[in-house]
Structure 1
Amino acid sequence: MAAVLVTSVASGIVAAGPPRPGTEGNGLTENESASLWSHDADNYVSQEEYRQRYGENRSAVHQVANGTDITFKRPPETAATWTRNDFEDLDAGNADTSVHPPHADLEDGVFIDDAHATIFAVHPSTRGHLESSEAPLYIAPNGSIRGFIDYRVRVPNGNSSENATTEWALAEHEIEEVRLKNDQEVIAAQDGSHTPTLNYQIEDAWSANLTLEAEIDVRLKKTTQTGRNNQTDTTVSYRTESHTVSDSIDVEIYDFSASTYYAEYPNGDSGVATFQSRPWQGYTLTEDGDTRVRGVWRFYTARNTNWDTLIRSNRTDSTTVESDAIPVYVHAYPSRIGPRAEPVRNGPELIDTWGIDRPSPVDTIGENINIDIVNESYTTTYGVAVRAENVDRDALQVAGIVRGVNASIIEPEGGSQRQLRRSNLSVEVVEQNQSQATVRLELRDNETSAPIELDDSRQYPIGGTTRNGHITIADQSVETNASGVAIVTIDDPGIYTARYHPGSWLSHNPAYVSDTATARWHPLGTIGGWFALVFEVGWQLLPFFVMFYAGKRLLRMLGPEDIFQRNP
């Protein structure tokens, strides 16, 4: 007897989306849950229409989130809180039904069908949108990974013949063990569960491939009854199957350190600069945390749309249903707002930022995301330097783009303290004539009188040795030589102010603050100038003298006395 298995698939359109804020708490207030859903369609509904539709009012934040997406200065905790609580609503099927998200990698065995292990979420974490081809998932070195495991058991149909009958029954089935691997090394394990939560700790690693792995065991009972000579012989045997399912995710371990440099300005202000080769959020300068600096990165939260729906499959059909559990992640993106210091009006002064140039990551954002992301190339703020009135070095804290991860402050090679001294700029007119003047500029250390040599041809990050900087005077930019001297020629008379523009203290030790000096030049400042003035004035007045003399002679020739003498 041949058995033919016919499978029909029931498909339909399921309207999936995030729950309305305030209808599911999951550990969050209405305002907090309203800020989660950056992937939702921002179809704005007025307050009156909302009240008529749902019979209640909504908060101001809820109203704003209905028309746009909300961004954050720092990675919020709301994504992990929602995910942790909503995960409890995720239910598996039974022995006859497998439940899985549409993107699950399903596997079949002899008796095990539609088996999968799918990663639900990893927290704390942040998806970093660096550029169009690079959007890694950064995870904290200590965190948890949640997964969903399910399967169904295919029990063979019984059969019978003239003198024998065979029946199959499910004896037992279970998920034997769940493991978490880091590049094939088991770093966490627990007893079998459809919804495991595994805590991990990863040290001294830049990146990793995490694998959630589960071992599924089933045991079937086979009963065969054979009729012989008016007797029935019963034979019982068991068949077992073990099947391993897994799911992997590539991550970068966000465990970073920062090099920090300090300087003291002559007026008592403090300079602070921090450098780190990975994206980071910013740093605080005081114990109360009110004085802070942040880089180019801002944050938003969005659900993983792969979990909007679930598929329930059994032996004969499958049905798509709306998911009761939706994971939410934090995303970091380069903002058009750029680096900022707080408080805005009387907070620290941004001195410099530096990094590498990257193209816009706008293509990695996805649909229905309304944020202030840069549309053109931008510079990553790997380094940020500020000047502030008050800095508490013991309270300095460098925060990362992954929630709860702060940098370890390391002592840079050569020390973290930079000397910041006063400079002494002098200006002297050493030669001049009626058309131009030669000015001598001299730049020295105000304390030691040592000459300051300048070379402004290149820019160096923290740790450089070449002294950058230049002096401006009369719309000219010059650099001093090894003796700290520069010579400038000026064509127009006047009062000129020379200003020293020092290179940043980030790249020099010792470094200097700016200084100014004034010089005056006029052609009458020398005897030669006066002689030239007299000569020039005389030369200009010569035609008038000639005309005066000629007129006087002409009057004598044609005056009344001469006319009278000629005509008595």
Structure 2
Amino acid sequence: MHLLVVSVVVIGLTTIIVPVQSTSSEHPLDENETATLWSNDPDTCPEGIQTGDGVGSETAAIRELANCTDLTFKRPPSTAARWSVHDFEELEPGDGNTSVHPPNATLTDSVVIADAHASLFAAHPSTTVHREPDDSPLYIAPTGTVRGLVDYRVRPLENESVDVDPDSGASLRHEVSEVRLLLGGDVLTVTNGSQTPVLAYETNETGRTNLTIEADIRVRLAQGSPATGGTDSDSETTVDEVTVSESIPVRVYGPTVEQFTARYPNGDTGIALYQRQPWHGYSLRGDGDARVRGVWRYYTARDTGWDELVHSRSDGSERVRSDARPVFVHAYPSEIGPRAEPVRDGPTILDVWGTESESPAIELPENVTVDVVEQPYTQSYGLALRTDERTLEGVHVQGIVRGVNTTVTIPDDERVRPLRESELSVELENQSASGATLRIELTDATTGDPISLTDTQGADPVAVPADGERRTGYITVNGERVETNPDGTATVQVREPGSYSVRYHPGSWLSHDPAYVGSTASVSWHPLLTVAGWVAFLDEVVWWSIPFVTALYGGIRIGKFLKYDEYQYK
């Protein structure tokens, strides 16, 4: 095996063996890639770490970083599969006297056959998705490869269950006669005679099922007499046969995307995408580089069930360090909610549908240190966005399983729902000194037909939103929500003078047909803008001035009465 134990780091009483890839050119991973594989290993960050590449080299820097923390990926990496494929070549089954198996293998004993098993080594491409506590399904690609180990041992001829003449020159022949790969109850692949089968498969199935490796092991008794010139193949009798298997629950990953498209009056495109399975991201195919990233990020970790192998013999068993350890890709939620890129000039996310889920942080292995969300997050399965991309041809859907992607095309204009312009008007009615009535009218800017907000669901089945939720459009007057009647009008009583801003908030184009874009209008009201207001104002002025006029007149009269005439008394 192309692994070297380069360091043993002692922390307290714990000994940690750090595997690092050798410099052999036969290995498909370089040292930087190998350093990223071991997220399930303890992180050891000793001071003054030394490497053969020199302290300042890029390889040394990445290796040192990998020793101190776990490195993660923006997309599902290929390193896990490439490592597992190469390591699988180092997996050697036992001979007829020894059965080699992982410690957790399910063993089967029979008359002559003992410690028989079939164990799944690796299935790639695949991703284990840590969605929430106690929910980490394994998603596999619809086209991939499964590797396994089938082994057993044969009891000696002295076994009392086998009737053999000791002078007959008989011997036992044993073999793995057939290995099958099943998905659910369907056989995908069959191979003959291999104890380390490599089973390529392809399926059109999707959803939850079981992946099973199944093997037939057979022992034959061959009898022949060398004295008569015969061989042990002259006569063969099957004396024992067993079928062994291992099944794991999987979900076949095949993103099936439902698409809803709309066209805004200014030429922008509205797109809604809906799928039940987790998704990595969406890329808008056009002249730009607009894209939307989901919540998932990735790390790679070995399957610790293959760290050791058990060698079982008739006189006992022993555990040895395994030379072959499969590595798998794991996905975890790292961000809350999808986000559009580029941040400033990218598409606008209009709505997100999904399931509120608890953080899976508590279920991750103790030695895995990644930036998993600590609070509840949304597993999104529906997304609506708006883009100004004028040459948009389609949307490339990137899956959470490596290599499993799909592309949906933008339909022609006949299948695109148009978004219409709306016209919002507001007028003052029934003004008085104490208040006024605002009459609001909402109409289709093209046809002049009223837009009613009391019945927003048309008969077109495409109008049903992806998540089944219906949102009604509404109008606000200075933030206060109102709805129009079937004639497309609404009235609002106002008492305070000032400016009133009216805004139409249309419902989602996913749930409305016809669908509209928003519009605004404004109006100002003050009592002094009306004749009645001026009369009321003058009336108030008169009433408020009477006391002051009376006081003024009284003051003048008293002043004249008390005035001193100096000429009269000269």
Same fold (TM over 0.5): yes
CA RMSD of aligned residues (A): 3.5
Alignment correspondent of 1:49:
49
- What's the counterpart of residue 325 of structure 1? 324
Q: Which residue in the other structure is 1:303 paired with?
A: 302
Separation in 1 of the partners of 2:17 and 2:415?
A: 51
Query: Greater CA deviation, 253-262 or 391-400?
Result: 391-400
Equivalent positions of 1:89-238 (< 5 A) are: 89-157=90-158, 170-219=171-220
Matches within 5 A, 1:204-283: 204-219=205-220, 240-283=239-282
SS at match of 1:251: strand
Deviation at 1:114, TM superposition (A): 1.5
> Which secondary structure does the structure 2 equivalent of 1:273 belong to?
strand
Which residue in 1 is equivalent to 2:520? Answer: 516
SS at match of 1:89: coil
Q: Which amino acid in 2 is paired with 1:42?
A: D
- Give the whole-Å Cα distance in 1 for the aligned partners of 2:422 and 2:256: 34
The letter for the 2-side match of 1:98 is: S
1:443 is matched with 442
Q: Secondary structure at the match of 2:370?
A: coil
1:480 aligns with 2:484: yes
Distance between the aligned counterparts of 1:507 and 1:315, measured in 2?
70
Amino acid at match of 2:284: L
Question: C-alpha distance in 1, partners of 2:201/2:127?
Answer: 17
Partner of 2:232: none
- Paired with 1:452 and 1:73, the residues of 2 have a C-alpha distance of 46
Residues of 2 paired with 1:322 and 1:463: CA distance?
51
Conserved in 1, the CA contact under 8 Å of 2:424 and 2:504?
A: yes
1:386-535 matches, within 5 Å, as: 386-390=385-389, 392-407=391-406, 409=408, 417-455=416-454, 461-462=465-466, 468-535=472-539
**CA shift at 1:324, angstroms?**
1.4
Name the residue aligned to 2:231. Answer: none
State whether residues 456 and 512 of structure 2, in contact with CA within 8 Å, keep that contact through their aligned partners in structure 1: no
C-alpha distance in structure 2 between counterparts of 1:415 and 1:307, whole Å? 57
SS in 2 for 1:546: helix
The SS at the match of 2:214 is: strand
For the 8 Å contact 2:392–2:410, the answer to whether it is kept is no
Gaps of 5+ in 2: 1-12, 226-234, 458-462
Distance 1:327 1:492 in 2: 74
Aligned to 1:554: 558
What amino acid sits opposite 1:33 in the alignment? Answer: T
Query: Which string of whole-angstrom CA distances, capped at 9 and with x for unpartnered residues, describes residues 163-210 of structure 1?
Result: x97899753222111111233432211111111011122224433222
How far, CA to CA, are the matches of 1:366 and 1:391 in structure 2? 47
- SS of the equivalent of 1:325 reads coil
SS at match of 1:338: coil
Cα distance in structure 2, aligned partners of 1:538 and 1:65: 87
The residue type paired with residue 211 of structure 2 is L
* Paired AA for residue 201 in structure 1: E
Q: What secondary structure sits across from 1:548 in the alignment? A: helix
The letter of the residue matching 1:347 is G
Q: What secondary structure, in the 3-state scheme, does the structure 2 residue paired with 1:506 have?
A: coil
Aligned to 1:80: 81
Contact 2:220 2:237 in 1 (8 A): yes
In structure 2, give the amino acid aligned to 1:452: I
Given that residues 399 and 405 in structure 2 are in contact (C-alpha distance below 8 angstroms), is that contact kept between their aligned partners in structure 1?
Answer: yes
Change (3 A) 1:359 1:536: same
CA distance in 1, matches of 2:275, 2:446: 34
Q: CA-to-partner distance for each residue in 1:423-454, whole Å, 9 max, x for gaps?
A: 11111111333333221111111111111122
Once the two structures are superposed, residues 94-116 of structure 1 have per-residue CA deviations (whole angstroms, 9 ceiling, x without a partner) of 22222111111112222222211
Q: Report the CA distance shift for 1:505/1:72 in structure 2 as closer, same or farther (over 3 A).
A: farther
For residues 452 and 190 of structure 2, the distance between their equivalents in structure 1, rounded to whole angstroms, comes to: 63
8 Å CA contact 2:220, 2:236 repeated in 1: no
Contact 2:451 2:486 in 1 (8 A): yes
Deviations 1:133-171 (A, max 9, x none): 322211122211111111122215599xxxx97899753
Q: CA deviation at 1:22?
A: 6.0
> How many matched pairs?
537
Tell me how far apart the structure 2 counterparts of residues 146 and 415 of structure 1 sit (CA, whole Å): 49
Quickly say closer, same or farther: Cα 1:87–1:484, change in 2 above 3 A: same
Distance between the aligned counterparts of 1:243 and 1:16, measured in 2?
40
SS in 2 for 1:355: strand
For the structure 1 residues 422 and 351, does the alpha-carbon distance in structure 2 shift closer, same or farther, using more than 3 Å as the test? same
> What is the TM-score normalised by the length of structure 1?
0.85
Structure-2 residue corresponding to 1:4: none
- 2:210 maps to amino acid: N
SS in 2 for 1:356: strand
SS at match of 2:85: helix
Pick which of 179-188 and 319-328 moved more.
Answer: 179-188
> How far apart, in 2, do the equivalents of 1:89 and 1:547 lie?
114
Quote the offset at 1:416 in angstroms: 5.0
CA distance in 2, matches of 1:526, 1:541: 22
**Secondary structure at 1:257 match in 2:** coil
Could you give the per-residue CA deviations for residues 2-29 of structure 1, whole angstroms, max 9, x where no partner exists? xxxxxxxxxxx99786622566774222
Q: Which SS does the other structure have where 2:89 is aligned?
A: helix
Provide the C-alpha distance between the structure 2 equivalents of 1:467 and 1:446, rounded to a whole number of angstroms. 22
How far the C-alpha of 1:376 sits from its partner, in A, is: 3.1
- Tell me which amino acid in the other structure corresponds to 2:355: I
The one-letter code sitting in structure 2 at the alignment partner of 1:441 is: I
Q: Using a 3 Å threshold, how does the CA distance of structure 1 residues 246 and 467 change in structure 2: closer, same or farther?
A: closer
Identity of aligned residues (%): 47
Q: Which letter maps to 1:471?
A: I
Q: CA deviation at 1:367?
A: 2.1
| SS of corresponding position for 1:49 | coil
CA contact (8 A) 1:37 1:303 kept: yes
Greater shift, 305-314 or 198-207, is seen at 198-207
Partner of 1:20, secondary structure, is strand
Residue pair 2:140, 2:401 contacting (<8 A) in 1 also: yes
Number of the residue aligned with 2:361:
362
1:432 partner letter: Q
The verdict on how the C-alpha distance between 1:465 and 1:218 changes in structure 2, with shifts beyond 3 A counting, is: closer
> 5+ unaligned residues in a row in structure 1: which ranges?
1-12, 225-235
Distance 1:513 1:208 in 2: 45
Deviations 1:468-520 (A, max 9, x none): 22222223111222111121222321122212122222222332222111101
Matches of 1:239 and 1:434, distance apart in 2: 109
Which residue is equivalent to 2:35? Answer: 34
Asked if the contact 1:260–1:410 (Cα under 8 Å) also holds between the matched residues in 2, the reply is no
Inter-partner Cα distance in structure 2 for 1:392 and 1:322: 57
Give the structure-2-normalised TM-score.
0.85
What letter is aligned with 2:554?
A
In 1, Cα distance between the equivalents of 2:436 and 2:403?
63
Inter-partner Cα distance in structure 1 for 2:467 and 2:55: 63
Distance 1:39 1:111, change over 3 A: same
Cα drift, residue 457 of structure 1: 11
Name the CA distance, whole Å, in 2 between partners of 1:16 and 1:402: 31
Q: Following the alignment from structure 1 to structure 2, what is the Cα–Cα distance between the partners of residues 444 and 40?
A: 65
Deviates more, 1:311-320 or 1:465-474: 465-474
Q: Relative to structure 2, which stretch is displaced further, 533-542 or 213-222?
A: 213-222
Specify the code of the residue in structure 2 equivalent to 1:138.
Y
Distance 2:373 2:265 in 1: 38
CA distance in 2, matches of 1:85, 1:415: 52
* Deviation string, structure 1 residues 57-76 (Cα, Å, up to 9, x no partner): 53444333333223333222
Displacement of 1:381: 1.3
